[in-house]
Chain A
Amino acid sequence: DTGVSQDPRHKITKRGQNVTFRCDPISEHNRLYWYRQTLGQGPEFLTYFQNEAQLEKSRLLSDRFSAERPKGSFSTLEIQRTEQGDSAMYLCASSLLRGGPTDTQYFGPGTRLTVL
């Protein structure tokens, strides 16, 4: 499968624990995005990378959240000291920036986080 993959698909954790999610983008895609989606809502942007550089972070991304893309390939999203409000689906998407203004973003299956 050459699509975007995410691991794990489901994560249940207790409040206060740290969790880390991984995203593997489509090979050669230079842009990688993280979104969060709560039940019944559309996804909301968290952050994005172009190659290994993190270019933008949403105000939604508190200091408990950190994302990395160390070699410009896969990315990790870590949440420290999880809270019940962090329960959501975390979606990763990738795209190929060709120098123009328009890129189709392809989404992975998401990681569903439940904080007890």
Chain B
Amino acid sequence: SQQGEEDPQALSIQEGENATMNCSYKTSINNLQWYRQNSGRGLVHLILIRSNEREKHSGRLRVTLDTSKKSSSLLITASRAADTASYFCATDLKAAGNKLTFGGGTRVLVKP
């Protein structure tokens, strides 16, 4: 079974709008990572947030982590058509040798 669950499963927005997606997980983590995947391609690493961090920014991306609620959110501001992709959260579990456990992903469509 997958550790992380993304919400929503799909998101459709207009270019320029913000996109927010959430990830929930079940057990204690070392860190949580967000990846982007364009259709049929490999995963591109976006951002890593450690278990002792609460918020992190990278360009138009903002990630938050709430370990008490076992949840994280990814915000993409001022979205562009090129942001159209699937976004996955992945947890690095303390007891799991740094292997990543992925959620099912959020499919984001940014309409021009």
Q: Which residues of A contact B (CB under 8 A)?
A: 4, 31, 33, 35, 40-45, 48, 55-56, 89, 91, 93, 95, 97, 101-110, 112
Q: Which residues does chain B contribute within 8 Å of A44, judged by CB atoms?
A: 2, 102
A94 to B104, CA, bound (A): 21
| Residues of B with C-beta under 8 A to A104 | 33, 45, 48
Q: Say yes or no for B98: interface residue by CB 8 A criterion.
A: yes
| B42 adjacent to A56 (CB under 8 Å) | no
Asked if B56 is at the interface (CB within 8 A of a chain A CB), the reply is no
A-B CB contacts (within 8 Å), total count: 71
Q: Contact mask B75-109 → A, CB, 8 Å, 1/0?
A: 00000000000001010101001111111110000
Q: Which residues of B contact A (CB under 8 A)?
A: 2, 4, 30-31, 33, 35, 40-45, 48, 50, 88, 90, 92, 94, 97-105
Report the Cα distance A89→B37, complex, angstroms: 12
- Are B102 and A43 within 8 A (Cβ)? yes
Nearest CB in chain B to that of A33: its residue? B99
B97 touches A55 (CB 8 A): yes
The answer to whether B99 and A102 touch across the interface, beta carbons within 8 angstroms, is no
A31 to B70, CA, bound (A): 27
